[in-house]
Structure 1
Amino acid sequence: MMPMWSAMAALSLLAAAFILWPLWRHRKQLQANNEVDNATARLEENIALFREHMRDLDNALAEGRIDADQHAQLKLEQERTLLDDEASVRIARSQFTLGFGNKSLVFIAVLTIACGFLLYRELGSSADVHIQHLQAEKSRLDYQDLLHNRNPDPARTQAFIRELEDRVEQEPDNLQYWFLLARNALEVADYAKAVTAYQRTLALDPGAAIVMAELAQAMFLRDKNQMSPAIAELALKALQADARNTTALGLAGINAFQQKDFRTAARYWQQAVDIMGPDAPGARALQGGVARAQQEAANQPVGSEPAAAGKSINLRVRLAEGVDAPGDQLVYVYARAWQGSRMPLAITRINVADLPATIILDETMAMSTMASLAQADQVEVVARISEDGTATAKPGDWQVSVGPLDMNALPETTELVIAEKLTE
C-alpha cells in the first residue's frame, strides 16, 4: 500500500508543480514590471533633457556660437539618444504579461490535488488495491508460519474473509472475489460458505472446470465425506471440460469406489498420480487408494462387479523417440467406431508437455448423447498432435491409432505411442 501512496504523492507534487510554476514566472514578471517603470521614468527625464538641450542649441545658433552644420549634427545625436531610450522601454513592455495573483494560483493547485483524490476515491481502484495488499500480506504470514512448523492463524483468514464479503457486496458480479472467498472459506473449514461462494462463481463462469471440481469437493466435505449424485455429476462435468483436473479425478475415483467399481476407481486415481507426480503432496494417499482398489478388484468374485455407470477405456499415451513437437501443441485423444461414422464417441485433449499421461475416455466425454461409447461394440482409439490446434487431421500432424478394440473385452491399459507423421 505504501508504494501506491508514495506514487500518488509524487504525482500530486508533479501536478502542483505545473500549477505553481506560473508563481515563479509571475514573480519574474513583477521584476520586469519594475524595470519597465524605471525605464519609462528615465525616458521622461531624457525627453525633458532633450527639449532643454534643443533650446540651448537653438540659442547658440541664434547667437552665432555654432553654425548651422554643427547645430544639425548635435540635434541628430540628441534625437538618436532619445530613440534608443524609447526602444528599451518598448522591449521591456513586450516581455511583460499579466497573470493571476499568487493566492489564486495556490488555491487552484490545492483544488486540483483535492479533486484528484476525491475522483480516485469514487472512480479508482483503492478498494481492489487494499484487497490485493491484504492477500499478499496473508500469504507472506502464512508462509512464515509454515516455515516454523506452525499452522497458519485461522483468525487471519477469517479477517480476510470479512474483507472479501464486504467487497462482494459492493461488486456482486466480481468473479475473482467470489472464487477467492470460496477458497478461503474452504481453508477454515467453513464448507457451507465455501459452497455458496463456489456456486456464485460457477454462475458467473459456467464452463470453468476448476470451479466445478472445487465446488464438488466443498460439497463432499460439507456432507461429511459422503458422495452424492450431484457431487459425482459435477466431478464428471469437470473432467469433461478438463480431463487433467486432479480434484475431479480424485472425486470420480471415490464415487467409483463407493459403487464397488474398483477397477475404474484405480484408473481415476492412477491418472491423478501420473499428472501430479509421485512426489507431490497428496500423491502418496492416492497411491495407497490405487493399491487398495486394485486389491479389492482382485478379491471381487467374478460376475459380482456392479453394472457400469458408463463404459470407459484406459489409455497410456506417450511420444516415440524422434518425435519433435512443441510442448504447447494440443494432443487430441479420442475413440471412434471401428466401422461407420468417424465422429468421436469420446474425446479429450491435453498438451504435448503433459506426455506421457494416463487418460480415461468415458461416456461423459461424448460429443453427442446419440453417439457415445455405450453404442459401440468395437472402437478405434487415436492420439494425434495437432500442428495448427484444430481437431481435423492435416499433413504434418503426428498420430497413432489402435483398433479394433472390443468394448466387452478391453485390456487393462491400451498403449498409444505417437510415432507416425501424416503426409496427406
Structure 2
Amino acid sequence: MMSLWVGVALLSVLALGFIFWPLVRYGKQQNGQSNEVVADRLAENVRLFREHIAELEVQLTAGRIDQEQFEQLKLEQERALLEDEADIRAAQQSRTLGAGLKTLSIIGVLLITVSWGLYQHLGSSADVEIRLAQELKQELDNKDYEAGRNPDPVRAREMVRLIQARLADEPEQLQYWFFLARMQMDLNDFGQAVNAYQQVLQRDASSAMVMAELAQAMFLRDDRKMSQPITDLVEKALKAEPDNTMALGLAGIDAFGKKDYVNAIKYWERTVKLTGQDSPGSQALVAGIERAATLYFAEGGTEASLAAARAGRQLTINVSLAEGVTASPEQIVFVYARTWQGAKMPLAITRVPVSELPKRVVLTEAMAMTPAMSLGSVDNVEVVARISQDGTATAKAGDWQGSFGPVDMKAVPPDVNVKIDQKVTQ
C-alpha cells in the first residue's frame, strides 16, 4: 500500500514541475524584458508631453491663448505625465514573478488536497490494499504448503478485517461478500460464513455454486447434520447445475442419512466420475459408496437389484421393421430417447445392426452423452429408432425411422414398441 502513495506523491511532484518550471523560466525572461518595455513607454510619454508643450507655445505666440491659459494647460500636461508614469510603475510591480508563484502554489495545494479528498471518497485504494494483501497471503500460504505447514490463520484474519472494512463502505460489493465467506470457511468460522453466503445469495439468487457452498457451510455449522433447509438448497443447486459436485456430495449424505443407500451410491459415484478417482476427497467417497453398498446388502438387497438401481431409469424398447422398408443387413440402427418436444440431443443412445431386427433394446441413464442430460433429468421422452445410410447419428433425407412418445418416465411401461416405417424427407 505504501508503494501506491509513494507513486502518487512522485506523480504529484512531477505534475507540479510541469507547471512551475516553464513559469520560472518564462518569468525570468519576462523580468529581463519588462524594464526595457517600461523605459520605452516612459520615453514615449515624455516625447508626447514635449510635443503638447511646443504646440501650446505656438498657440501662445499666435495669440490664440493668453499667458494664464498657457500656464494652466501646461500644468495639466505635467500632471498627466506624472500619473501615467505612476500607473506604469504600479503595473510593473503587480506582474512580478513572486505574485504568480504564490498564486499558483496556492492553486496547486488546493488541487492536490481536493484530488486527495475525492480519491479517498470515490477511489479504490481499499480495493488495491485488499488485492495486495491477497497476493501476499497467497504467496506466503504457498510457501507454507511447500514446507509441509498449515498456513498461518493470522493472514486470513487480516483479510477478513480488510474485507469487512470495505463492505462497511460498499455493502453491495457482491464479490467481497463471497470472498469474505471463503475466508470465514478457511478459519472454520462456519456461522459467519453462512451469514456471508446468505448476503451473496440475496444479491445473486440464481447461483448454483453459492447455493451449494451455503449448504455446505450450514452442514458444517450444524455439526455435520443435514436439515430440511440444507436439503432444499441442495435440490435447488442440482436443478440449476446437475453436475455441481459439492451439491452431489451433500445429496449423497442426505440420502445415506435417510437409509436410501441406492441414491447415496448414485450421487457419490457421479461425483467421483466428475472429479476423477485421484481428486482430493474421492477416496472418502469411494469408502462411503462401499459402506452404503454393505448396508444395502445387510437390509436384503442383492447384487442384481443394486446393479439395476445404479442404472437408474431405463426404457425397454422393441424395435422392428415395417413391411416395405428396404435396408441392407449391415446398416446401423440408432435407438435413442430425447426430450419430448424439446432439445434434439439424445438422453440415452445405443446402436444395433439391421440384421438383428426385430430386437429388444434397453436404454439406461448410463448411456447418456453427458451426465447433466440423461433419462433421469426429464419426465417425458420420445423414443426414436432410425436406420442410418452412412453410419452417422445425424438424420439425413432418405433415412428410415420410427418414433413413439410421449413416454412418462415416472411411470415407465414394461415395453415400448417402435416400428421403423417413416422415410426422412429433409
TM band (smaller chain): 0.5 to 0.7
> How far apart, CA to CA, are the structure 2 residues paired with 1:334 and 1:195?
41
> How far apart, CA to CA, are the structure 1 residues paired with 2:35 and 2:153?
72
1:345-385 deviations in whole A, cap 9, x for unaligned?
Answer: x999xxxxxx975447587x5xxxxxx63xx5x76599xxx
Q: Is the 8 A contact 2:177 2:199 kept in 1?
A: yes
Match of 1:183 in 2: 182
Q: Kindly provide the amino acid, as one letter, of the partner of residue 148 in structure 1.
A: A
Q: CA distance change for structure 1 residues 215 and 362 in 2, over 3 Å: closer, same or farther?
A: farther
Q: Is the 8 A contact 2:346 2:369 kept in 1?
A: no
- Is 1:27 the counterpart of 2:54? The answer is no
Q: CA distance change for structure 1 residues 220 and 301 in 2, over 3 Å: closer, same or farther?
A: same
Q: Kindly provide the amino acid, as one letter, of the partner of residue 285 in structure 2.
A: L
> How far apart, CA to CA, are the structure 1 residues paired with 2:166 and 2:218?
24
> How far apart, CA to CA, are the structure 2 residues paired with 1:169 and 1:267?
44
**Which of 335, 339, 345 pairs up with 1:336?**
339
SS in 2 for 1:172: coil
1:400-411 to 2 correspondences below 5 Å:
407=409
Q: Is the 8 A contact 1:23 1:105 kept in 2?
A: no
> How far apart, CA to CA, are the structure 1 residues paired with 2:197 and 2:273?
27
1:206 Cα deviation from its structure 2 partner: 0.3
1:177-228 deviations in whole A, cap 9, x for unaligned?
Answer: 2111111111111111111111111011100111100000001001111111
Worse-matched range after superposition: 290-299 or 243-252: 290-299
Q: Is the 8 A contact 1:312 1:360 kept in 2?
A: no
Q: Is the 8 A contact 1:262 1:297 kept in 2?
A: yes
SS in 2 for 1:221: helix
Q: CA distance change for structure 1 residues 137 and 381 in 2, over 3 Å: closer, same or farther?
A: farther
> How far apart, CA to CA, are the structure 2 residues paired with 1:381 and 1:264?
29
> How far apart, CA to CA, are the structure 1 residues paired with 2:193 and 2:169?
19
1:354-365 to 2 correspondences below 5 Å:
358-359=371-372, 361=374
Match of 2:12 in 1: 12
Q: CA distance change for structure 1 residues 266 and 32 in 2, over 3 Å: closer, same or farther?
A: farther
- Unaligned runs of 5+ residues in structure 1 are 48-96, 316-332, 349-354, 366-371, 383-392, 396-400, 411-421
Q: TM-score, normalised by structure 2?
A: 0.60
- Is 1:217 the counterpart of 2:220? The answer is no
Q: Percent identity?
A: 38
> How far apart, CA to CA, are the structure 2 residues paired with 1:235 and 1:197?
18
Q: Is the 8 A contact 2:264 2:289 kept in 1?
A: yes
1:294 Cα deviation from its structure 2 partner: 3.7
Worse-matched range after superposition: 129-138 or 189-198: 129-138
> How far apart, CA to CA, are the structure 2 residues paired with 1:197 and 1:240?
23
Worse-matched range after superposition: 131-140 or 218-227: 131-140
> How far apart, CA to CA, are the structure 2 residues paired with 1:173 and 1:274?
38
Q: Kindly provide the amino acid, as one letter, of the partner of residue 17 in structure 2.
A: A
Q: Kindly provide the amino acid, as one letter, of the partner of residue 214 in structure 2.
A: L
Report the structure number with the largest CA radius of gyration. 2
> How far apart, CA to CA, are the structure 2 residues paired with 1:230 and 1:212?
11
Match of 2:82 in 1: none
Q: Is the 8 A contact 1:312 1:361 kept in 2?
A: no
1:141 Cα deviation from its structure 2 partner: 2.0
Q: CA distance change for structure 1 residues 163 and 201 in 2, over 3 Å: closer, same or farther?
A: same
Q: CA distance change for structure 1 residues 357 and 215 in 2, over 3 Å: closer, same or farther?
A: same
> How far apart, CA to CA, are the structure 2 residues paired with 1:314 and 1:38?
110
SS in 1 for 2:339: strand
Match of 1:132 in 2: 131
Match of 1:227 in 2: 226
Q: CA distance change for structure 1 residues 249 and 403 in 2, over 3 Å: closer, same or farther?
A: farther
Q: TM-score, normalised by structure 1?
A: 0.60
1:58-77 to 2 correspondences below 5 Å:
none
Q: Kindly provide the amino acid, as one letter, of the partner of residue 28 in structure 1.
A: Q
1:96-143 deviations in whole A, cap 9, x for unaligned?
Answer: x98762222222222222221111112211122222222222222222
1:82-121 to 2 correspondences below 5 Å:
101-121=100-120
> How far apart, CA to CA, are the structure 2 residues paired with 1:314 and 1:125?
57
> How far apart, CA to CA, are the structure 1 residues paired with 2:296 and 2:404?
26
SS in 1 for 2:150: coil
Larger RCO, structures 1/2 (Cα 8 Å, 6+ apart): 1
Q: Kindly provide the amino acid, as one letter, of the partner of residue 183 in structure 1.
A: R
1:282-301 to 2 correspondences below 5 Å:
282-301=281-300
SS in 2 for 1:158: helix
> How far apart, CA to CA, are the structure 2 residues paired with 1:394 and 1:176?
46
Q: CA distance change for structure 1 residues 334 and 132 in 2, over 3 Å: closer, same or farther?
A: farther
Match of 1:247 in 2: 246
Residue correspondences, number? 306
- Is 1:262 the counterpart of 2:265? The answer is no
1:239 Cα deviation from its structure 2 partner: 1.4
Q: Kindly provide the amino acid, as one letter, of the partner of residue 28 in structure 2.
A: R
> How far apart, CA to CA, are the structure 2 residues paired with 1:156 and 1:281?
24
